[in-house]
Amino acid sequence: MLATERRMKILEFIQEDGSARVRTLSDMFSVTEPTIRQDLEKLEAEGHIVREHGGAYLKTMSQQVSTLTLQHTDHLEEKRKIAVKALEFIQDEESIILDSGSTITELAVLVKQKRTLTILTNALNIALLVGSNPGFELMVTGGEFKPPTLSLTGVKAAAFFESAFVDKLFLATGGIANTLDLTYPSFNDITVKKAMIHSARETFLLVDSSKFGKTSIASLGTLSQINYLITDEGIPDTFRQRITDLGVNVIIA
How many residues are present in the chain?
Answer: 253
pLDDT in tens, 119-150: 999 999 999 999 999 999 999 999 999 888 89
Strand-pairing partners, residue 140, are 121
* CA separation, residue 6 to residues 3, 39, 43, 169, 220 (Å): 5, 8, 11, 32, 21
Ordered structural domains, the chain, with CATH: 3-59 (1.10.10.10), 76-252 (3.40.50.1360)
Give the Cα separation of 193 and 15 in Å (integer): 18
- Looking at the chain, the whole-number percentage of residues with pLDDT higher than 70 is 99
Give the Cα separation of 78 and 223 in Å (integer): 21
Range with the lowest mean pLDDT among 6-20, 130-144, 154-168, 173-187?
6-20
Q: Are strands 55-58 and 49-52 parallel, antiparallel or unpaired?
A: antiparallel
DSSP the chain: --HHHHHHHHHHHHHHHSEEEHHHHHHHHT--HHHHHHHHHHHHHTTSEEEETTEEEETTHHHHHHHT--S---SHHHHHHHHHHHHTT--TT-EEEE-SSHHHHHHHHHHTT-SSEEEEESBHHHHHHHTT-TTEEEEE--SEEEGGGTEEESHHHHHHHHT--EEEEEE--SEE-TT-EEEES-STTHHHHHHHHHHEEEEEEE--GGGBT---SEEEEEGGG-SEEEE-TT--HHHHHHHHHTTPEEEE-
pLDDT in tens, 173-224: 999 999 999 999 888 899 999 999 999 999 999 999 999 999 888 999 999 9
Strand-pairing partners, residue 20, are 56
* CA separation, residue 196 to residues 72, 139, 152, 226, 249 (Å): 22, 14, 13, 11, 19
**pLDDT for the residue 73:** 67
| Section 72-99 average pLDDT | 94
Does 234 score more than 90 pLDDT?
A: yes
